[in-house]
Every structure is written in C-alpha cells, then in structure tokens.
Amino acid sequence: MTGILDKQLEPIVAKVESGQRLSLSDGLALYASRDIFTIGRLADHVRRVRHGRVAWYIANRHINYTNVCVLRCKFCGFCRKPNSEAADAYVLAADQVVEQAALGYADGATEVHIVGGLHPTLPFAYYREIISRIRTICPRMAIKAFTAVEIVHFSRISKPRRSIEQVLAELKECGLDCMPGGGAEIFDDRVQAEAFPYKVGEHDWFAVHRAAHDLGIPTNATMLYGHIETSAQRLGHLVKLREHQDESLQRGKGVFNCMVPLSFVPADNTDWADLPGPSGLDDLKTLAICRLMLDNFSHIKAFWPIQTIKLAQVALGWGVDDFDGTVVWYDITKREGQGTHQHLGTEQLRRLICEAGYEPLERDCFYNAVERSGTQWSLAGR
C-alpha cells in the first residue's frame, strides 16, 4: 500500500498484507493514529479479500416483546421499571409476537429477530411458546432470538430451574436457529461496575455463547463503544471475542457469524444522557479496527438504526460488508427524530449499497445468497 501518511502504521500495514494477526498494541497504534484513510483502506483491503465488492443485506423483521426490565443499565433508554405507570411500558402477548412474525413472513422476511427486557413475571413457557408457534407458522423463516442476558434470565426464572445448556437445548428444540450478540457491552470489570453492575458479565456472556456454539447454534457478537471505556478496553474486548472464536472454530460446531459494533447513543431518560457519544470518525475507525483485529470473523455489520444510514453507507468502504436489513420496527435505540418505525425497503438498501460502490447481495440469516421476486424468495442455486 502506498500513500501512508502515518509512518507508525507501516509495520501494521505490512502485517495485514502478509496475513499476520494484529496484537493489542497494534490496535492501540491504530486508535492513536489520525491517518483515518490508511486505516480505512487497510480494512477495505481485508473485506475485499473476503467478500470482493459484495455487501450483504437481509429482509428481516425485529420484534421487541417487552420493554419492562428488572435491570437499570445506565445507558439504556429502552427499559421501563416493573409495575411502572409509564404509558409506554408494554408486554406483547404471545399472540401479538406471533402475529408480527407472521406479517413479516408474509411480507417476504427471511429472518425474525426477537429480543426484549428481562421481565420479572413472564414464565419460560412464554418464550418457548413464541418460538414454537413462529416455527410452525413460518417454517422457512430463520428465528434469531434472545441475547445471552435473556438466556441467563430464563435459566434463573425457569421452574424447575434449568441450566443455560438446558434453556438453549429446549429453545433449539422449539425452533431457535440463531442468537443475536447483545449484552456484551464492554468486557471490563471497571466499566461493568460503573455502567451495568447487575447485568451478566463476561463470564456468563461467554458461557452462553460457548453453550450455543456447542449446540450448533450460530450467534453474533457485539461491542457497545463510545461511552466511558478506553481504547485499550475496546481492544481487550475484541481480543477476547477473537480468542473465543478461535476456540469455537476449533470445536467445529457453531461460531460467531458476525460482529456488530454498536455506537453508543445517549438516551434522554438515562444517567448518561449528557455523554457526547462517539464522533463519526470514531465510528469509522472502530468499524475498521474491528475488521482488522477480528481476523477470524467473516462479517462486520454496520447496523444502520444505530450507526445511521449515512454512516453505514460510508462504512462499507471502512471494512464493513453487512448493512443489516429492512428491520421495520425497532424500539431499543432511537436516534433523535426516530420512532419505533425504522424501516428500509430492499430496493432502498440496494440503492444505498450501489451508491457506495459495492454490489448488493441479499442474504439469509446464515449468509446464504437469496434470490427474490417480490415477497417470494429462494436460496440461490437451490
């Protein structure tokens, strides 16, 4: 690569070009550099080696079954207290969840993505029921559901109490295909004690993902960045994910499908409402550094409701190969001016990707290419 402005990056460029793994100190040098274009070109080189000019998107539908949660993570503007009198506290009945999934299926969605707060009284049977019924009514739609935090909660509230492995095995039996990566935040004791002291930490998050992978359930990974953590803590988080992926790849069952870096969005009704959140350059740099550090992850996603449509589009040139999807309805993070209706049509997604200079390719939950005609779809070549 020519035209490297920051000479400190030259050894890192050489390592990446020769396929060597980057160290935590390489990551720190990347974060310390202001040569954002070299970092972007390097990440783009890696994504092009893996994916050429393809950028993936998916026709999916998100469902958040409740915003009632027993926890109070400092960054969370989504949760409402149990017994809250807030007019916007809600719990969807199983019928409503199934109905929303069925609407998505009829509309051609290939995946439903289901997550919610940690509700104090919903029984484990509720979660089993929604997965089983969606599996029956929407047989071809992949069900991606429940973060590691929810799985640990189900383990605690189930009667008789179940282990993490039992919870996952039962949900898989009901029809669970895949799991999102939420709840990871930042794997660091100081950050956890300050920001989400009662939430499951690193140990339990990895225990859930290890158990899921051992059952052959692929999962995603996330990192919530841009609040009180340092660059070193972000990199420590990435190195831990990379080590876990090495183990999962070695065991040869389930793996992390995708890394989803989540840019912190300060929410009005939270303790962290006044934090500034990351800048656009920090977002681009972090997405690129995820691509460079996570050499054993196939995909890096810019989840557009959080990264914004504009930044997600630019990020395709900074190591990102996945724009995520149609989403339709998303309640967890709302940027200024956004409501719960957060929808991009497949044609809009294709246009945004083309405009950025990449080739849009629809995928299913497992990154199989999809051929589509309106709401009808099939896996390419099948």
- Footprint on this chain of ligand SF4 (rule: CB under 6 A): 69, 71-73, 76, 78-79, 117-118, 149, 199
Q: What CA–CA distance (Å, rounded) separates 185 from 353?
A: 28
Closest distance to ligand SF4 from the beta carbon of 198 (Å): 9
**Of 119 and 299, which has the nearer Cβ to ligand SF4?**
119
**Of 69 and 109, which has the nearer Cβ to ligand SF4?**
69
E strand residue ranges, 197-312: 219-225, 256-263, 299-300
Closest distance to ligand SF4 from the beta carbon of 258 (Å): 20
Closest distance to ligand SF4 from the beta carbon of 196 (Å): 6
**Of 320 and 332, which has the nearer Cβ to ligand SF4?**
332
**Of 71 and 369, which has the nearer Cβ to ligand SF4?**
71
Closest distance to ligand SF4 from the beta carbon of 118 (Å): 5
**Of 208 and 288, which has the nearer Cβ to ligand SF4?**
208
Give me 251's structure tokens: 């065991």
CB 344 within 8 A of CB 78: no
Which distant-in-sequence residues (6+ apart) come within 8 Å of 371 by Cβ?
362, 377, 378, 379, 380
Distance of CA 5 to the CA centre of its chain: 33
Q: Which candidate, 273, 277, 297, places its Cα nearest to that of 228?
A: 277
Which distant-in-sequence residues (6+ apart) come within 8 Å of 20 by Cβ?
none
Q: Hey, CA dihedral for 89, 77, 334, 203, is it positive or negative?
A: negative
Closest distance to ligand SF4 from the beta carbon of 78 (Å): 5
Taking CA atoms, 312 is separated from 38, 236, 279, in Å, by 19, 24, 14
**Of 272 and 297, which has the nearer Cβ to ligand SF4?**
272
Closest distance to ligand SF4 from the beta carbon of 76 (Å): 3
